[in-house]
Structure 1
Amino acid sequence: MGIFHLKVPETSHVGSAIGRIRAVDPDFGKNAEIEYNIVPGDGGNLFDITTDEYTQEGVIKLKKPLDFETKKAYTFKVEASNLHLDHRFHSVGPFKDTATVKINVLDMDEPPVFSKPMYTMEVYEDTPVGTIIGAVTAQDLDAGSSSVRYFMDWKNDVDSYFTIDATEGTIATNELLDRESTAQYNFSIIASKVSNPLLTSKVNVIINVLDVNEFPPEISVPYETSVCENAKPGQVIQTITAADKDLSPAGQRFSFKLSSEASNKPNFTVHDYRNNTAGIETRRNGYSRRQQELYFLPVVIEDSSYPVQSSTNTLTIRVCRCDSDGTIQSCNVEAIFLPVGLSTGALIAILLCIVILLVIVVLYVALRRQKKKDSLMTSKEDIRDNVIHYDDEGGGEEDTQAFDIGALRNPKVIEDNKIRRDIKPDTLRFTRHRPPAEDNTDIRDFINQRLQENDVDPSAPPYDSLATYAYEGNGSVAESLSSIDSLTTEADQDYDYLSDWGPRFKILADMFGEESYNPDKVT
């Protein structure tokens, strides 16, 4: 058959046909059925050959990937034989032939190749931002050996927690991590050739977040703990468990103990069962609700992680009334009064009576104050029992600006006089009567005369008032100096007589007299 030369790209896929060879038997022609086999040797592990049943050609297939950088050429032998032999020709000789196949691997531009099929890394959740936690490596295996660039394969927001250096391939944290939120991150890194960015390869990266002991353990649920009044020492009244907000690793252990200040009190104690549970036990015989209804027990819980975290949790223990078997009958406040013989209805009745008595007392005091107040107001409003004092001088009887005296006027006088109240009435002029010096008028007649003048005076107030009349007596040469007799204005007064009184009254005569002083008239 001779020698066959084949050129195969190194990027050829496994199982694909990379070439064909043909063997011919001239004795049988088309009726020959050829079988091809690779002679054990150089190419037995990388190549395979089969017979095309239609063309009777040998089809060479690839069993493993080729790599130009590893080996550039392969040489092996192929043996062809006819399966249908005529027994008449057995003595002629063997009906088979051998050919040499030479395969040259063609160098192709391939994408970078990562050093691992997958990368796994670990990081603590308290790692600062920007800390490098690992690296990926990819190489260009082509003869040119181009540089490689790295990129994150962004698919969701979770990928933003990490960044990768484009040149070095180092992976660093980009945000603070929280194992309680996300315990594992899974993303991809892409590597591309600088000389041909279209040639890329991808690798998967898994980052496990390691837990850091951040939170102290706490009591898992709020317990409603109670103790009987007839409890005995060493009796377990409550079993408690703990929980931790950290995602505790397997084998996490919690320890329980009393706080230092509660260890000296002989009421209760904590018994650690060393299986993440503990029991609250009594330390004395009997408890009294009347002395103390509630007890507060501080319990310290620690975990076994690093660094060790602990917390103090306070249990509230209520004293209850129980029967002889330890069954709780009542823990409320009113149960304290039951041994005295008072029921709930009796207590309510007593409270109602107290409320009614308080209401009656309040009403009685209010009525007494109201009665006293009414009596005071009545005495103040009775004008007959009071003397009203006025310190305002006023403007006399004609001053009507301070109060309205219209309502006090006598209706009969108003009807008789018919004088307008908003106009000051003219002063009536009366002839001044000068009694002779020898006329000795009696005081009673003087008062009667003044009273009669006041009764007929329309300008007099229409109510009873106190009028004071000064009586100087009769026989005075200067006559009366009082203004009581003055029924006219000062303009109507006659002061001519002052000129007759001599030089001593000269100034008065000049002031009030109409004529100048004449000394010839002085006698």
Structure 2
Amino acid sequence: MSNMRNISTRLSILVNLSILWPCILSLNFMNIRTQEMNKGNHIRVKRGWVWEPLYVTEEQEVKKPMYVGQLKTDSDGHDDSIKYVLFGDGAGSIFVMNEYSGKISVLKKLDREEKPFYTLRAQARNRYTGVPVETESEFVIKVLDINDNEPKFINEPYIAEVLEMSPEGTYVTQVIATDKDDPTNGNNARVVYSILQGQPQFSIEIKSGIIRVGSQMDRETKDQYQVIVQAKDMIGEPGALSTTTTVIINVLDVNDNAPKFPQKTYEMSIIESGIAGDIVGTLLAYDIDIGKNAEITYSIEERGDYNMFNISTDSLTQEGIITLNKLVDFESRNRRYNIQVRAENTNKPELFDTATIRIYVVDVDEPPVFLERQYFMEIPENATVGSYVGSVTAKDPDNTNAIIRYDILHSKFSGLFEIEPNNGSVFTIKSLDREVDYWHNITVTATEAKFPALVSHVAVFIRVMDVNDNAPQLQSLPDIYVCEKARIGQTVYTVTAADKDEPKPSQPFSFTQPPEESINANFTIADNGDNTATILTAQEGYSFQDNPLFYLTVIISDNGTPALSSTSTITIKVCDCGIDNNTQSCGKGGYFFTFMNSGVVIAIAVFILLILVLALLVHVRFRKNPNMISEKGEDLKENIVKYDDEGGGEEDTEAFDITGLRHHTVMRERKPKRTIRTDIQSMYRLSLGLGPDVAIFKEFLSEKLEEANTDATVLPLDYLHCYAFEGTGSLSGSLSSLSFTEANVSEIDSYY
């Protein structure tokens, strides 16, 4: 124990010497330089300052002024005539100087990390005169460091990653700690690193703080480590200070594990009524890797019944979904299927595992099954009601062999047929007609007698076979013409026949004439053998005037069993086909013009000529008096008055004030009535058969209009005004009972 204390004391002395060594060298150098100068120049050296090395150890408790050192001049005679004065950094507050002795004391605890040294100035004066005895001198009081600061980690927190199975020595991360102590003062700031927790998986370099892999790790065993690192100053010597930090190291996954099935054999089941695509079951293989390294792809190996099922991979759950690929049947011999499933790593197929799956077929009560997918039946259209059409058959696929009942679903054709519920025989219940519907589609159901919910359906197509029950008929014919100048054997028209029965190309229709018409016939008919016949002329020329129309009887027969025939009459019109002897012009002119002869044409021409002569006379008359029509037109335009309001007669005058209907904008002064002239000379106009003279008639209307506009007792505007005027010049005199004299006018006015 005493040896340890001696060693500690010696180390402290060495530390202090190392700190003061620069000052000692400086003083020695100054003394040597002064001596050399004195030797060289033989000049008397002036007296100066004398002081000790000045330093204060940090963190010392100071209860009273603590002595640091002394400054004095060699001219001090110890008679108190010299006054020492201290200036500079911390003078008076931190450091004080005895003005008589020059001793310096510190007043409080210092912290090197806060301030490592203080620069001060000292002055020596004559106490009585105040004159400086020595020049002002600058000196330094150094704060000696002690190990009072522990290391501190920077850049926390520390999180690192490393791949699993990484080899030893792989770099992981680096930690760094700093110490505020003086790095030049011994080992106070020299830090070393060590791992307190995390070995042997990790190691650390003692000086740099670099963490490396200490041994290989398996992520599937442990995927995260918390490594505790210690930083210690003074190179770990006694009295050193330390601190710790936690480094979180995540182990990254490497694709080094194959998928594994929890068990090697699985059992599943599927009902026999399942259809292709139904899910049989699911299975899951586990890969202890993570992320993409754990992706699995499933497949069925080509062993056993591999083609009966499919398997797919659910990318979300990583499950293998087994589905039915082909239909299964419990009643067959195969009631169990074996397949082998392979689960391989998607990104590394060489990593895989296999499992065997046994799939059992489960029996279910199935509906009846028809022996055929669809049925085709035939029946002739002339079959009697109740005739047998055909049969359908269904069987129970289960082992129970249940009783089956048949029925027909309701449709528009279901009313024509019925089915025997016990044996599936189909019969007709109404008459059939191929020309109305030649195909009938019905749906037959088969139901288990004990379980009506088990129903099957099948389509039955019934074809109605044709029977020759329709005679051929001529198709619609246009107007047929024959030219008057036609020659014997000339083609008039080609007719076509059609039959509603099913066409039989090998059995064409036949066209004939009645025997009584074949003798001395005007036309003959030639059968073309292709369901058409050609009408030919049988005489030389035809006369419209003698016989404008001819009738041709045609007998059309089919070759069915039994054969049917029909008789049709064709009308042939005689036409003057013109120079080119073409019947096309006959259809354009119409049948009416066939009766027109040359006399009629001449009469029409004379009539048209008379109309033209009359039009010419009117034209000449208008040219002689061109203003006649225009004047009449103007007069008519001026005297047309439109009334939109309908009056109510005499009673209407009490309904509203009629004065508002008067035309006030044309009121003029009342003028005396003029005597109407009756001696108008118009003999010339009478000779032409025209009406009264326009000028006189216009004057008459003007006077009447003026009287109506100025008369306060005029009739309402909606009252009908009658103006009568008879032209003069008639030799027989007037036949009218009206005379427009003043007396008559007065009577009319007073009457109204």
Per the shorter chain, which TM-score range? 0.5 to 0.7
Structure 1 residue 84: Cα displacement:
5.5
Please, what TM-score do these two structures have when normalized by structure 1?
Answer: 0.56
Q: How does 1:400-439 map to 2 (within 5 A)?
A: none
Q: Alignment partner of 1:160: what SS?
A: helix
State the SS of the aligned residue for 2:414: helix
Deviation at 1:293, TM superposition (A): 5.5
SS at match of 1:262: helix
One-letter amino acid of the structure 1 residue matched with residue 530 of structure 2: N
Give the Å deviation of 1:248: 3.3
Instruction: Report the Cα offset of residue 142 of structure 1.
Output: 1.0
Match of 1:7 among 250, 269, 276: 269
Which residue matches 1:48? Answer: 310
**Offset at 1:251?**
6.6
- Aligned equivalents of 1:243 and 1:115: distance in 2? 42
Deviations 1:427-486 (A, max 9, x none): xxxxxxxxxxxxxxxxxxxxxxxxxxxxxxxxxxxxxxxxxxxxxxxxxxxxxxxxxxxx
Tell me the equivalent position of 2:567: 312
- The answer as to whether partners of 2:295 and 2:347 remain within 8 angstroms in 1 is yes
Shift of 1:134: 1.7
Aligned pairs for 1:358-507 (under 5 A) are none
Please say if 1:134 is aligned against 2:396: no
Q: Please tell me the residue identity of whatever aligns with 1:108.
A: V
TM-superposed deviation, 1:72 = 1.4
Q: 5+ residue gaps in structure 2?
A: 1-262, 604-752
Shift of 1:331: 7.5
Counterpart among 425, 444, 447 of residue 170 in structure 1:
425
Which amino acid in 2 is paired with 1:38?
A: I
Q: Of 269, 272, 276, which residue of structure 1 is paired with 2:527?
A: 272
* 1:349 corresponding residue in structure 2: none
The superposition leaves residues 314-342 of structure 1 with CA deviations (integer Å, 9 ceiling, x where unpaired) of: 23344455545436699889959x69x79
Could you say what secondary structure the match of 1:146 adopts? coil
- For residue 68 of structure 1, report the CA deviation from its aligned partner: 0.6
Q: Which residue of 2 aligns with 1:110?
A: 366
Q: Is 1:197–2:452 an aligned residue pair?
A: yes
Q: Secondary structure at the match of 1:45?
A: helix
Aligned partners of 2:495, 2:313: CA distance in 1, in Å?
Answer: 79
Work out the CA distance in 2 between the residues paired with 1:330 and 1:98: 97
Q: Contact conserved, 1:259 with 1:312, CA < 8 A, in 2?
A: no
Deviates more, 1:322-331 or 1:290-299: 322-331
Tell me the secondary structure at the aligned position of residue 306 of structure 2: coil
**For 1:28 and 1:335, how far apart are their aligned partners in 2?**
111
Distance 1:323 1:178 in 2: 52
Residues 282-301 of structure 1: matches in 2 within 5 Å?
282-288=537-543, 294-301=549-556
Q: Cα distance 1:28–1:273, how it changes in 2: closer, same or farther (>3 A)?
A: same
**1:6-405 superposed matches below 5 A:** 6-24=268-286, 28=289, 32-70=294-332, 71-83=334-346, 95-156=351-412, 158-222=413-477, 224-248=479-503, 253-288=508-543, 294-320=549-575, 323-326=578-581
Query: Does structure 1 retain, via aligned residues, the 8 Å contact 2:575–2:594?
Result: no
The one-letter code sitting in structure 1 at the alignment partner of 2:395 is Q
Alpha-carbon distance in 2 for matches of 1:43, 1:24 = 25
The Cα shift of 1:234 comes to 1.2
Structure 1 residue 176 displacement after superposition: 0.7
CA 1:342 to 1:53, structure 2 compared with 1: closer, same or farther past 3 Å?
A: closer
- Partner secondary structure for residue 108 of structure 1: coil
Q: Return the alpha-carbon distance in structure 2 between the equivalents of residues 228 and 269 of structure 1.
A: 16
Instruction: Report percent identity of matched pairs.
Output: 38
Change (3 A) 1:250 1:210: farther
**Deviation by residue 1:369-407 (Cα, 9 ceiling, x = unmatched):** xxxxxxxxxxxxxxxxxxxxxxxxxxxxxxxxxxxxxxx
- Whichever residue aligns with residue 461 of structure 2, its letter is I
Contact persistence 1:149–1:193 (CA under 8 A): yes
Separation of aligned partners in 2, 1:20 and 1:332? 93
Aligned partner of 1:66: which letter? V
Give the deviation of 1:121 after TM superposition.
2.3
CA distance in 1, matches of 2:396, 2:324: 23
Task: Work out whether residues 7 and 104 of structure 1, in 8 Å CA contact, stay in contact via their aligned partners in 2.
Answer: yes
Q: 1:212 & 1:48 partners in 2: Cα distance?
A: 56
Matched positions, count: 335
CA RMSD, 1 decimal: 3.4
Q: Deviation digits for residues 409-442 of structure 1, max 9, x if unmatched?
A: xxxxxxxxxxxxxxxxxxxxxxxxxxxxxxxxxx
* Structure 1 residue 305: Cα displacement: 4.0
CA shift, 1:194, in A, is: 1.5
Shift in Å, 1:183:
2.3
Cα distance in 2 for partners of 1:141, 1:129 equals 35
Unaligned runs of 5+ in 1: 87-93, 346-523
Q: Which amino acid aligns with 2:415?
A: S
Deviation of 1:64 after TM superposition, in Å, equals 1.7
TM-score for the superposition, normalised by structure 2 = 0.40
The CA distance in 2 between the partners of 1:342 and 1:59, in whole Å, is 101
